[in-house]
Amino acid sequence: MTVNEFAKEVHENAVAHGWWETARSFPEVAALIHSEVSEALEEWRDGNPAIYGCCGIPGGVCEFEGSCDKDEKTGTCKPEGVAVELCDAIIRILDYLAYMDVDVEAVLMAKHEYNKGREYRHGGKRA
């Protein structure tokens, strides 16, 4: 599956689950992306593993060997952790880019190629 195909699938899933009944403004989407990054920071501050809560799922990527609290409706464990929250941010970004009908792969490659030509620690900033 390509990045563009994945973005389309992500957006279709969001639409199917009612998250696009009305168009979302960019400030709303940006705030939601920011909230996912903030949740990743809180997971790190709490000292949690990068991935937990999804143990026992076939093909799972869990780092935590303990048990998890299962969702009463689905009977599955919800993946949690820094990596999961960062992936939530990526999913929100891809959802919006697919909504905008952006060729994500082309933009990613163009930006990556541009970054490769930049000076070492360009911009004179410390971080």
Give the per-residue SS3 of 54-75. CCCCCCCCCCCCCCCCECCCCC
Establish if 27 belongs to a structural domain: yes
Residue type at 86 in one-letter notation: L
Residue numbers of the domain that contains 111 = 3-121
Q: Give the predicted TM-score (pTM) of the model.
A: 0.84
Q: What is the DSSP letter of 125?
A: -
Establish if 127 belongs to a structural domain: no
Confidence at residue 21, expressed as pLDDT on a 0 to 100 scale: 97
Establish if 126 belongs to a structural domain: no
Establish if 101 belongs to a structural domain: yes
Residue type at 57 in one-letter notation: I
**91, 116 contact by CB (below 8 A):** no
58: Cβ contacts below 8 Å, ≥ 6 apart: none
Establish if 111 belongs to a structural domain: yes
Confidence at residue 55, expressed as pLDDT on a 0 to 100 scale: 60
Closest CA to 55 of 89, 80, 72: 80
Note down pLDDT in tens along the chain; length 127 residues. 999 999 999 999 999 999 999 999 999 999 999 999 999 999 999 998 888 876 655 555 565 555 666 777 777 777 889 999 999 999 999 999 999 999 999 999 999 999 999 998 888 777 7
**H runs (alpha helix) in the chain:** 3-16, 26-45, 82-99, 104-116
Overall number of domains in the chain: 1
